[in-house]
Structure 1
Amino acid sequence: MLHLSRLTSLALTIALVIGAPLAFAAQPAPAAAPAPAPAGTAATTKAPLPLEELRTFAEVMDRIKAAYVEPVDDKTLLENAIKGMLSNLDPHSAYLGPEDFAELQESTSGEFGGLGIEVGAEDGFIKVVSPIDDTPASKAGIQAGDFIVKINGAPTRGQTMTEAVDKMRGKIGQKITLTLVRDGGTPFDVVLTRAIIQVKSVKAQLLESGYGYIRITQFQVKTGEEVSKALAKLRKDNGKKLNGIILDLRNNPGGVLQAAVEVVDHFITKGLIVYTKGRIANSELRFSATGKDESEAVPMVALINGGSASASEIVAGALQDQKRAVVMGTTSFGKGSVQTVLPLNNDRALKITTALYYTPNGRSIQAQGIVPDIEVRKAKITNEQDGEYFKEADLQGHLGNGNGGADKPTSSSKAKAMPQDDDYQLAQALSLLKGLSITSGR
């Protein structure tokens, strides 16, 4: 069993996770329009330059260059000044250098050049948690449990997870050599070619006959489309209309605003989903349902927790206000601001907070979060063995059932392990769904 001092399962298929409280506008926006001029002031009037502050800035820069213990070039000082200017606005505004900007684009698109390996750390080594289907790693025969001891000949022992991941990611078509150790055997090399890795943000399965489970790990450009496919698959696997759906948004850090809108649109027939308010003209947006509810209006539970942020809160808040789902779990993170990515002309960008979003009922989630309808805290499930009680059907010569039907003796078969078996919140959500299904006559 993989032992991690802090369980870290990074995926080479997933762009480095941008801190949990991140969400941004669906697409990079054009340069922001200037704020309206104050009343009584001509719109063309510009504020005077803060000359005194600019003189202070120039003096500080000059003093650092002259007195700092090591030489510092102008470019470094100016970039640090820009970073400070953005980071001190709020926790989510930032200056993105070329690498940060590229990683942001990768995380929202769900595609980048990689190998397709989920990895973890164990005893200072990098260990394969799982190769992902139809990727260079799975095609090369890499297996869960393999240790990656070298990357292009350089030992991995002592490297951080981030360092190892950065080395394995790269340009599409480039070759990379991994040295692996399997089951304590002799090290061997595997040569792989980096390819486009598509990350699915949605997972779905039937928990029991009639009850579907959809988990969204983050909101990417294609998440809405993936939820649509997940609903269709659940209906097909069930063979008939579902009795209920659980939408799991726990530990989902957010992502693309438009994707959150599309997800809600799959579950409601009409009404407002979310609206935003800000200072610039294009920050005033309203999103409403298009009437393409693909869930067939079956009972629904949405799971949230303190790791559910931003776009996750948009979804949970809309489903709650529209009385479409029972929201269960614990209070969400409370990030109710929208970040717009403003590309600059040198592979850099500004990620700047431009608006606050509001649920259909006008609630701002900022610094408060979504409070669940039913609070269910995380807990451990201890499965006690039911005593092997003898039943009437086990007795020799027992009478049959007068109304027909097969006997039901003591069962010795073990049920297949399911996600709800050791997930208390999920088990509670499933129990609630069953109750709703019974009372609604489904």
Structure 2
Amino acid sequence: MPHLSRLTSLALAIALVIGAPLLHAAQAVETAAPAAATNGKAPLPLDELRTFAEVMDRIKAAYVEPVDDKTLLENAIKGMLSNLDPHSAYLGPEDFAELQESTSGEFGGLGIEVGLEDGFVKVVSPIDDTPASKAGIQPGDLIVKIDGEPTKGLSMMEAVDKMRGKAGEKILLTLVREGGQPFDVELTRAVIKVKSVKSLVLEPGYGYLRITQFQVNTGDEVGKALAKLRKDYGNKKLRGLVLDLRNNPGGVLQSAVEVTDHFLKKGLIVYTKGRIANSELRFSADPVDASEGVPLVVLINGGSASASEIVAGALQDHKRGILMGTDSFGKGSVQTVLPLSNERALKITTALYFTPNGRSIQAQGIVPDIEVTRAKITREQDGESFKEADLAGHLGNGNGGADKPSSKGKAQSKQPRPQDDDFQLSQALNLLKGLSVTRGD
């Protein structure tokens, strides 16, 4: 149309760029777009579009190096999303592919979940058995430099892009921990294959179930793990179970619902509230309880975020388990990925979620029922002394029981157990054993 002014053409171009995700959103939420039209929404803000066009012209004319229209428009979109909240982002082809890989359980990088705080890149949690966790990186660490370049002012996606790379390549992170002095950690990138569920027997009758993140198949994996723990205990109901959600950065909402459902027979699990119709969802438990009502302690900490908080909050509200540890991260928002037509996508915050009792976790987190902070376990050597059974000529037990002399001089072949070096886990197990004693199990 030759009669269209440059400004009008640009306005139409912008409308098409931002209209594409709206088209997908309308398809996802049925009648959202027609409803907006009938509500008489305001037309495009022409004054602001004129300013945008003027800024774009000035950059193209005066910037020290030539910049093409595509770069300027993509940067404008990135800025538009990054300034909404820390979790909304524009995903290019590589970022979109990486997001799909991460929710399927395999991706390349360091194995670290990050967020933004006051312009700095902050570690939400390292993922188990990855370069980040093996290097001792902890939740709350600030990443102030990547390969010597400051991270201040980077968007979250830009920081993630810098940390990703080919397996085998080295990277140097400069960290600040709890306001201390900066220190360097060198890591080697790897292909991250995350097994989202791990289980083992702590002691006869007491199981341990760890969820490292919520992937598409996590709900099924938890069901299988519960069945295996029961089988390992002679197909009997467990006496107690520790569900470990520490340093779990979250993941797929549906998986969090499925995991929670394994521990409940009825009631609301979580509900969400947003502006578009289909963002208001309610998830309830079905009558089947795969855990058989086993006494439960749930471990959380500052690295437990999003989907982890959904599970912990629901179990706490239903008084299904005792939460132990420290306050969780406080991410109470839901992101929806809206694919675009050119292998790109928008990850945009569409709703807030609420626990069954109506609590919003956003920026507050879940407070455990019993606070137990991290601590190192140091064991004193018992000074073995003689017992009655060591004395020559001692009387036997009147009921016919075997003598129990001191263990001095006997070889100690005790195998190391997870609870021996994990204070929070040790406390959780002790609580379960105490509950078992009071129940008379």
Shorter-normalised TM range: 0.7 to 0.9
Q: Which amino acid aligns with 1:422?
A: D
Is the counterpart of residue 213 in structure 1 residue 208 in structure 2?
yes
In structure 2, C-alpha distance between the alignment counterparts of 1:332 and 1:56, rounded to whole Å: 43
Residue in 1 aligned with 2:417?
A: 418
Aligned-pair CA distance for 1:111: 3.8
Which structure 2 residues correspond to residues 290-305 of structure 1 after superposition, within 5 A? Answer: 290-305=286-301
User: In the alignment, what sits opposite 2:251?
Assistant: 255
Tell whether 2:365 aligns with 1:369: yes
1:76 aligns with 2:71: yes
What SS is found at the alignment partner of 1:255? coil
Q: Which of 223, 231, 251 is the equivalent residue of 1:228?
A: 223
Displacement of 1:165 in angstroms is 6.2
| CA distance in 1 between partners of 2:103 and 2:341 (Å) | 21
TM-score, L = length of structure 1: 0.73
Contact kept, 8 Å, 1:29 with 1:340, in 2: the verdict is no
Any idea what the Cα deviations from partners look like across 1:361-381, whole Å, max 9, x if unmatched? 111111111111111111221
Q: Which residue of 2 aligns with 1:151?
A: none
**What is the distance in 1 between the residues matched to 2:254 and 2:63?**
47
> Does the CA contact (< 8 Å) of 1:210 and 1:244 recur in 2?
yes
- 1:297, distance to aligned residue in structure 2 (A): 0.7
Secondary structure of the residue aligned to 2:166 is helix
**Does the CA contact (< 8 Å) of 1:35 and 1:280 recur in 2?**
no
> Could you tell me how far 1:46 is from its partner in structure 2?
4.4
Higher relative contact order, structure no. (Cα contacts within 8 Å, ≥ 6 residues apart): 1
Q: Does 1:384 align with 2:383?
A: no
How far is 1:78 from its partner? 0.7
Residue in 2 that maps onto 1:439: 438
Superposition pairs of residues 26-425 of structure 1, within 5 angstroms: 30-31=27-28, 34=32, 43=38, 45-111=40-106, 166-168=165-167, 199-239=194-234, 240-411=236-407, 412=410, 413-425=412-424
Q: CA 1:246 to 1:278, structure 2 compared with 1: closer, same or farther past 3 Å? A: same
Q: CA deviation at 1:37?
A: 6.2
Structure 2 counterpart of 1:139: none
1-side partners of 2:374 and 2:79: how far apart? Answer: 38
Which has the larger share of helix?
2
The size of the alignment, in residue pairs, is 355
Question: How much is the aligned-residue C-alpha RMSD, in angstroms?
Answer: 3.2
SS at match of 1:357: strand
State the identity as a percent.
77
2:428 partner SS: helix
Secondary structure of 1:317 counterpart: helix
Residues 35 and 279, structure 1, Cα contact 8 Å, conserved in 2: no
Q: 1:162 to 1:59 in 2, by over 3 A?
A: closer
Say if 1:29 and 1:342, in contact at 8 Å, map to a contact too. no
Give the Cα–Cα distance (whole angstroms) in 2 for the partners of residues 244 and 332 of structure 1: 23
2-structure distance, mates of 1:65, 1:271:
58
Confirm or deny: 8 A CA contact 1:201 1:220 kept in the other structure: yes
